[in-house]
Structure 1
Amino acid sequence: MVRLIAFDLEGTLVKSVSGWVELHKKFGTWEKGKEYAEAFFSGEIDYATWARLDASLWKGHTKDEILEWVNSVEYMDGAQELIEFLKKNGFKIAILSSGLMCLAKRVSEELGVDYVYANELIFDKAGRITGEVNPVVDFQGKGAILRKLKDELKPELSVAVGDGYNDISMFKEADVAIAINPHEGVEGDHNVESLYEVKEIIEELTRGQ
């Protein structure tokens, strides 16, 4: 008996809202980063181009600088308890993030997550950002990834938890969609304010199974 749950990362499991934005602010590149974001949302550039342009602004910065930010990010209240509960109840756990793998990897290792998908900054041998990026999870790509996991695992129940527009595609793929403090215009089958409420919903879904 396999169950599958897919989480967005930022704004869902951790308190960071956007690693891209937070690193722009850390490195003093936000004004240009904002221009690139506007170009993406207006349809002038695709996601891979947007990610590469963002990363190019950080060229020469070090992995240590990135990890300084990564290690400062805090978990949402109830995150550890929820993941432990899910593991005890037969869930395979995935993180699908259009943020950065450096943060997703830390969280997945600490929580013991089964699958992790996120965008990867490329570093040279000296540990400096090259300006290139591997855009694994584009803005609409979470649905396709969740579909692939469902095809592979054939779960009896699939759940998606997220907060933003780029989570809508995985909401459509899941049996049950849970929106946590959702952005305006984003709705799930359940809309909640905390991970404790997510746990309550899943307890109800799995009761008696």
Structure 2
Amino acid sequence: MTRLHLFDMDGTLMHGSAAAVEISRQLGVEREIDELERAFAARELTPARFAALACELWGELTEDRIAAAFDGAPWMDGIPDVWAEIRARGERSAVISLSPGFFVERLLTWGVDAAHGSRWPEVPFLDPVDPAGILDAGAKVRIADELCAEYGLGRADCVAYGDSMSDALLFAVVPVSVAVNADHHVRDIAAHAYAGRDLREAYALVGAPR
């Protein structure tokens, strides 16, 4: 094993959308979540506050609606193919996302080695969101370091794929990064940039390990 590939989910593996948007669409609260998304992007809300407000919006959330949101999301083409090729090379893959873990962890069935998201209450929500369980941009670096320790690798062995401000800290500490349909926060600092709908093409920019 020579490398660890670290993928963001919202806006990266999911083209032009996010778990919160897809869940809210199932519940008919798209307008409300759009307002929260704009406030979060403007740094008016912390990840924990965003999660608390979203939890209030999703009082009618069920496992069936989570499944429908996941299945109907605009995923990039070729995700399982990329993870299968990474594994065939003897490498590892992981998803690290600020989105709810109950959504992120569904990607394990597609062949990713590890999937980390924020810790939310069980559905249906009977308890409030615990701010300590909500990930932020710094947590992506911490989890990447934990995965490196588990796999016997270091930051120098990592490749990061992301699209926005929440990925910038991770991009800053790994040697190879791919901005996928990204904004300027990561596009300007990434080693590679990709615009399109096929993750296989973004992965191809990295090339084989030396």
Structure 1: stretches of 5+ with no match in the other structure: none
SS in 1 for 2:161: strand
Aligned to 2:28: 28
> Partner letter of residue 145 of structure 1?
I
Matches within 5 A, 1:92-131: 92-111=92-111, 113-123=112-122, 127-130=123-126
SS in 1 for 2:11: coil
Aligned to 1:182: 182
- Supply the distance in 1 between the matched residues of 2:192 and 2:43 (Cα, whole angstroms): 31
Matches within 5 A, 1:84-163: 84-111=84-111, 113-123=112-122, 127-130=123-126, 132-133=128-129, 135-152=133-150, 153-155=152-154, 157-163=157-163
Comparing 13-22 and 63-72, the one that deviates more: 13-22
Q: Is the 8 A contact 2:47 2:134 kept in 1?
A: no
Residues 164 and 58 from structure 1, CA distance in 2 versus in 1: closer, same or farther, beyond 3 angstroms? same
Q: Is the 8 A contact 2:164 2:183 kept in 1?
A: yes
Q: What is the aligned residue count?
A: 202
Measured after TM superposition, the shift of residue 170 of structure 1 is 1.3
Structure 2: stretches of 5+ with no match in the other structure: none
- Supply the distance in 2 between the matched residues of 1:45 and 1:14 (Cα, whole angstroms): 22
Higher helix share: 2
Normalising by structure 1, we get a TM-score of 0.81
Aligned to 2:4: 4
Q: Is the 8 A contact 2:17 2:74 kept in 1?
A: no
> Partner letter of residue 11 of structure 1?
G
- Supply the distance in 2 between the matched residues of 1:31 and 1:195 (Cα, whole angstroms): 29
Q: Which is greater in Rg?
A: 1
Normalising by structure 2, we get a TM-score of 0.81
Residues 139 and 20 from structure 1, CA distance in 2 versus in 1: closer, same or farther, beyond 3 angstroms? farther
Which string of whole-angstrom CA distances, capped at 9 and with x for unpartnered residues, describes residues 88-141 of structure 1?
112111101112323322212222x22211124322xxx523363354422443
- Supply the distance in 1 between the matched residues of 2:80 and 2:62 (Cα, whole angstroms): 30
Residues 140 and 31 from structure 1, CA distance in 2 versus in 1: closer, same or farther, beyond 3 angstroms? farther
Comparing 132-141 and 6-15, the one that deviates more: 132-141
Measured after TM superposition, the shift of residue 48 of structure 1 is 1.0
> Partner letter of residue 109 of structure 2?
E
